[in-house]
Structures are given as structure tokens and as C-alpha cells.
Homo-oligomer: A and B are copies of this chain.
Amino acid sequence: MSEVRTGSPGSMSADARPETPSATDSDALAVKPMRADAQRNHERILQAAEEIFALDGVAVPIDIVAERAGVGIGTLYRHFPTKESLFEAIVLTRLNELLAIADVFILDSETEPGAALDAFLREFARQASEKRDLFEALDQAGIDIKSRFVERLDELVARIDILRERAVQSGDIRSDVGTHDIMNLISGTCHAAGHSGVDNQEVQRLVSIVIAGIQRTSSV
């Protein structure tokens, strides 16, 4: 139930770069600073997309996003050449947040392995069930060859694997469940929830059941 925060909701990252070239202007292709209005619009779009995608998922028409951002479609396309690129930017932000959270748990040597895994998975589920775009991205995990967030997903898997491994070592969870199993289970749970207007409370209950299923104490 505790919220782990890493960056403010509106923080961008990924390949968004509304800043001036800042540092090394060095020898070659330095990016010229964006015009003031361009920079403002860029951010507006990102924020609008973040809100709308979280609520309605990728399915929403870009016109809506543009409208919400108070910007023309042309402008939107100037900043993000493709709908997918916009989606990607958002999801990348989300994944980075998740990665950061995972790191917190990995570096935290206070709490014991089982609890750490448990806590992270719950946070994972919370994020995924709150941001619809996130779990839609999770769905296509294996599919979409091109989109860049797939590689980030691999990083996430790696992080979870660390937590899982530790929990296995400490005897908290079964050794015969892989990280992919866990991810499938968690994202599946979120999915089922997402399509039924189920709130986070309910999702957490389902996650509890899944976690109970991967614990050592469980019978076969």
C-alpha cells in the first residue's frame, strides 16, 4: 500500500529532449536549441499523452491527444513522427520509473528477500493496473520487434530475476518458478483486472493469491 516514488509524474525522459544542447557542443552534429513555443508544445503533448494513454490505452486516436494538449495534429506529428513513437516515449518513461524502483529494492539490504520481492511485485502490479498503456505494452512484450521498449523490458526482467533469485536462496519462494512465469502471472493478473474496471485494491488481492502460489509453504 506504500507508494514508491522516483520522479514526479510529469517528468519526461526517454528520447524527449526539449533542452538546449547544454553540455558538449563539441565537434559535430550538435542539436540546436528548440524554439520556445516548440519546447512548450513538446512538453504539453507529452503530458497530455501521459494522462490519456494511462486512462484509455493506445487505442485512443491521436487527434484526441492533440486536442487535449491544445495543439494541432500537425504539431504533434512534428514532435513525434509516429503514433507509436509517442507511445514509446511514454512507456519508456514508465519503464524507467519501474526500473528505478526495482533498483531501490535491490540495493536495500534491510528487508529480507521474500519481502522485497513481494513488495516489488505489488508495486509492479499497481503501476501496471493504473497506467493502462504500461500493461498494454507488457502484452505485446514478445511481439513487436521494432519498438524500443522491448529491450527495456529485458532489463526489467533481469532486475526481477535478481530479486527472485535471492528469495529462492533464502527459502522464501519455490525454486521451480522462473522470472518469466512471475511476469506472466503478474501482468496477466493486471490484464484481467484492467478489462473489468477493477480497482487497485482488488488487483492487490489477486496478486496476493499469485504470490501465495509461488511461496515455499504452498503445497503442490
Question: Which one of A38-46, A49-57, A136-144, A163-171 is at the B interface?
Answer: A136-144
Q: Does A146 contact B (CB under 8 A)?
A: no
Q: How far is the CB of A92 from chain B (nearest CB, A)?
A: 20
Query: Is B210 touching A185 in the complex (CB atoms < 8 A)?
Result: yes
Q: Does A158 contact B (CB under 8 A)?
A: no
Contact among B192, B205, B210 with A187 in the assembled complex (CB-CB below 8 Å): B192
Complex Cα distance, B218 from A211, in Å, reads 10
Give the oligomeric copy count.
2
Contact count band on A:
35 or more
Q: Does A214 contact B (CB under 8 A)?
A: yes
Q: Does A30 contact B (CB under 8 A)?
A: no
Q: How far is the CB of A60 from chain B (nearest CB, A)?
A: 16
Question: Which one of A66-74, A80-88, A193-201 is at the B interface?
Answer: A193-201
Query: Is A189 touching B195 in the complex (CB atoms < 8 A)?
Result: no
A139 / chain B contacts, CB cutoff of 8 Å = 191-192, 195
Interface residues of A (CB under 8 A from B): 139-143, 177, 181, 183-185, 187-193, 195-198, 205-206, 208-215, 217-220
